[in-house]
Structure 1
Amino acid sequence: MLSSSRSWIPAVLADVVLILVFAAIGRDAHARGDIVSGAFSTAWPFLAGAVIAWAVSRAWRAPFALWPSGVAIWIGAVLVGMLLRAATGQTVVLPFVIVATISLAVFLLGYRALVAVLVRAAQRRQRGV
Structure 2
Amino acid sequence: MSSLKTKPTPTASAGIVLAVAAADFVLILVFAAIGRDAHHREEPVLGVLLTAWPFLAGAAAGWLASGAWRSPLSVIRAGVPVWLGTLVVGMLLRALTNQTVVLPFVIVATLALAVFLLGYRLLLAGAARLRRR
TM-score between both structures, scaled by the size of structure 2 = 0.88
2-side partners of 1:35 and 1:28: how far apart? 8
SS at match of 1:7: helix
- Post-superposition offset of 1:18: 0.2
Q: What's the RMSD between the two structures over aligned residues?
A: 1.4
1:49 to 36, 58, 72: 58
2-side partners of 1:99 and 1:93: how far apart? 10
Consecutive unaligned residues of structure 2, counting only runs of 5 or more, are 1-11
- Post-superposition offset of 1:5: 4.2
**Which residue matches 2:100?**
91
**Which residue matches 1:127?**
none
**Which residue matches 2:127?**
118
2-side partners of 1:16 and 1:44: how far apart? 10
Consecutive unaligned residues of structure 1, counting only runs of 5 or more, are 125-129
**Which residue matches 1:37?**
46
Are 2:81 and 1:72 equivalent residues in the alignment?
yes
**Which residue matches 2:91?**
82
**Which residue matches 1:102?**
111
- Between Structure 1 and Structure 2, whose CA radius of gyration is higher? 2
- Post-superposition offset of 1:50: 0.3
2-side partners of 1:4 and 1:69: how far apart? 15
2-side partners of 1:108 and 1:49: how far apart? 12
Count matched residues. 123
Work out the percentage of aligned pairs sharing the same amino acid.
59
2-side partners of 1:5 and 1:122: how far apart? 23
- Counterpart residue identity of residue 118, structure 1: A
Are 2:37 and 1:18 equivalent residues in the alignment?
no
1-side partners of 2:88 and 2:127: how far apart? 30
